[in-house]
Amino acid sequence: KAGVTQTPRYLIKTRGQQVTLSCSPISGHRSVSWYQQTPGQGLQFLFEYFSETQRNKGNFPGRFSGRQFSNSRSEMNVSTLELGDSALYLCASSSWTEQETQYFGPGTRLLVL
Amino acid sequence: QKEVEQNSGPLSVPEGAIASLNCTYSDRGSQSFFWYRQYSGKSPELIMFIYSNGDKEDGRFTAQLNKASQYVSLLIRDSQPSDSATYLCAPRSYNTDKLIFGTGTRLQVFP
Q: Summarize pLDDT for A32-67 with one digit per residue, the tens.
A: 999 999 987 889 999 999 999 998 899 999 999 999
Q: State which residues of chain B have pLDDT below 70.
A: 1
**Between A100, A101, A104, which is nearest B43 by CB?**
A104
CB contact (8 A) between residue A106 and residue B43: yes
> Which residues of chain A does B32 touch, with a Cβ-Cβ cutoff of 8 Å?
99-100
What's the CA gap between A113 and A46, in Å, rounded? Answer: 22
H-run or E-run covering A12: strand A10-13
CB contact (8 A) between residue A42 and residue B103: yes
CB contact (8 A) between residue A45 and residue B100: yes
Mean pLDDT of chain B: 93
Residue B82: the pLDDT is 97
What's phi and psi for A25, nearest 5 deg? Answer: -75, 170
Q: Does A59 contact B at CB distance below 8 Å?
A: no
A107 or A97: whose pLDDT is higher?
A: A107
What's the CA gap between B96 and B92, in Å, rounded? Answer: 8
What's phi and psi for B83, nearest 5 deg? Answer: -80, -10
What's the CA gap between A99 and B46, in Å, rounded? Answer: 13
Residue B37: the pLDDT is 97
CB contact (8 A) between residue B100 and residue A106: no
- Among B35, B46, B88, B99, which would you mutate to test the A interface (most chain A Cβ atoms within 10 Å of its Cβ)? B99
Q: Does A42 contact B at CB distance below 8 Å?
A: yes
Q: How far is B42 from chain A (nearest CA, A)?
A: 7
